[in-house]
Chains A and B, each alone.
Chain A
Amino acid sequence: MTRLLEYLVPGIADGSIYAICALGLVLTYKTSGVFNFAHGALAAAAAYAFYQFRNRNHLPWPVAAILALIIVGLIGGLLLERLAGWLSSAPPVTLVVATVGLLVFLQSLATAVYGASNIDDFRPFLPQSGFHVGHVTVSGSDMIIAALALGTAVGLYYFFQRARLGVSMTAVVDDPNLLSLQGVNPANVRRIAWILGATFAGISGELLAPELGVSVNDLILLVITAYGAAAIGLFDSLPLTFLGGLLIGVAVDVLPAYLPSSNVTLQSLPRNIPFLILFAVLVFVPARKFTERGMRNVRRLKPIRQYSLTVMGPAMSLAAVGLIVLPFVINRARVDQYSAALGYAVIFASLGLITWTSGQISLCHLAFAAIGASTMGHSLSAGVPWIFALLFAGLIGIPAGAIVAIPANRLSGVYVAVATFGFGILIQQIFYPTFLMFGVLNNIAVPRPHVLGIGFTGDRAYYYLCLIVTALACASILVVLRSRLGRLLRALSNSPVALDAHGANTNLIRVVVFCFSAFLAAIGGALLAGVPQSASGATGGQFDFTVSLVFVAILAFCGRRPLISPFIAAFLYEVIKIYPFFDNETVLKYQGVAFGLLAIMVAVAPGIQAGRLATSRRSSERDRSPVTQRLDDRRLGPIQPSALALGPPVYRSGRSPSNGSLSNGSSSNGAGVRPLGSKTGRQL
Chain B
Amino acid sequence: MTVDLDIQQITVRFGGIVAVNDASLHAEGGTITGLIGPNGAGKTTLFNVCSGRVRPTQGTVTLGGQKLDGHSSANRAHRGLGRTFQRMELFENMTVRENVRTGPEALFSSNRFYGLFICSRKEGREIRDRADEAIERCGITQLASQTVGDLSTGQRRLVELARAMATPFKFLLLDEPSSGLDHSETGQFGQVLLDFVSDTGTGILLIEHDMSLVAEVCALIFVLDFGRMIYTGTTSDALVSPVVKAAYLGEVAVAGA
Binding site for B on A (CB under 8 A): 300, 303, 483-485, 487-488, 490-491, 493-495, 497-506, 508-509, 512, 620-622, 629-630, 633-634, 684
Q: Which of A494, A502, A633 contacts B93 (CB 8 A)?
A: A494
Residues of B within 8 A of A484 (CB): 105, 109, 115-119
B74 engages A506 (CB within 8 Å) = yes
With contacts A488-B116, A502-B163, A621-B153 known, is A497 near B85, CB below 8 A?
A: yes
B89 engages A498 (CB within 8 Å) = yes
Check: B122 CB closer than 8 A to any chain A CB.
Answer: no
The complex places the Cα of A498 from the Cα of B105 at a distance, in Å, of 12
Residues of B within 8 A of A621 (CB): 87-88, 153, 180
Contact with A along B93-123 (1 / 0, CB 8 A): 1100010001111110110000111110000
CB distance from B80 to the nearest CB of A (A): 10
A504 engages B109 (CB within 8 Å) = yes
A503 engages B78 (CB within 8 Å) = yes
B103 engages A634 (CB within 8 Å) = no
The complex places the Cα of A484 from the Cα of B115 at a distance, in Å, of 8
B91 engages A490 (CB within 8 Å) = yes
Residues of A within 8 A of B164 (CB): 502
Residues of A within 8 A of B118 (CB): 483-484
Greatest chain B CB density within 10 A among A483, A494, A502, A684 is at A502
Check: B187 CB closer than 8 A to any chain A CB.
Answer: no
Nearest residue (CB) in A for B55 is: A288
Nearest residue (CB) in A for B123 is: A484
The complex places the Cα of A483 from the Cα of B115 at a distance, in Å, of 11
Q: Which of B40, B89, B94, B106 contacts A503 (CB 8 A)?
A: B106
With contacts A484-B109, A487-B102, A634-B39 known, is A500 near B73, CB below 8 A?
A: yes
Residues of A within 8 A of B104 (CB): 502
Binding site for A on B (CB under 8 A): 39-40, 51, 53, 72-75, 77-78, 82-83, 85, 87-94, 98, 102-107, 109-110, 115-119, 152-153, 163-164, 167, 180, 209
**Shortest Cβ-Cβ A-B pairs, 6 listed:** A503-B77, A504-B106, A498-B89, A503-B107, A502-B106, A494-B91
Residues of B within 8 A of A488 (CB): 102, 105-106, 109, 116
Residues of B within 8 A of A495 (CB): 89-92
Q: Which of A303, A512, A633, A634 contacts B116 (CB 8 A)?
A: A512
Return 19 A-B CB contacts under 8 Å, by A number.
Answer: A483-B117, A484-B117, A488-B105, A488-B116, A490-B91, A491-B94, A491-B106, A495-B89, A500-B72, A500-B74, A501-B73, A501-B85, A502-B104, A502-B106, A503-B74, A504-B106, A504-B109, A505-B109, A621-B87
B91 engages A622 (CB within 8 Å) = no
With contacts A483-B117, A484-B105, A484-B117 known, is A501 near B77, CB below 8 A?
A: yes
CB distance from A434 to the nearest CB of B (A): 34
Nearest residue (CB) in B for A488 is: B109
The complex places the Cα of A633 from the Cα of B39 at a distance, in Å, of 8
Q: Which of A491, A629, A630, A633 contacts B91 (CB 8 A)?
A: A491
Residues of B within 8 A of A483 (CB): 117-119
Nearest residue (CB) in B for A630 is: B39
A491 engages B102 (CB within 8 Å) = yes
The complex places the Cα of A490 from the Cα of B153 at a distance, in Å, of 22
Nearest residue (CB) in A for B160 is: A498
CB distance from B145 to the nearest CB of A (A): 13
CB distance from A499 to the nearest CB of B (A): 5
B91 engages A498 (CB within 8 Å) = yes
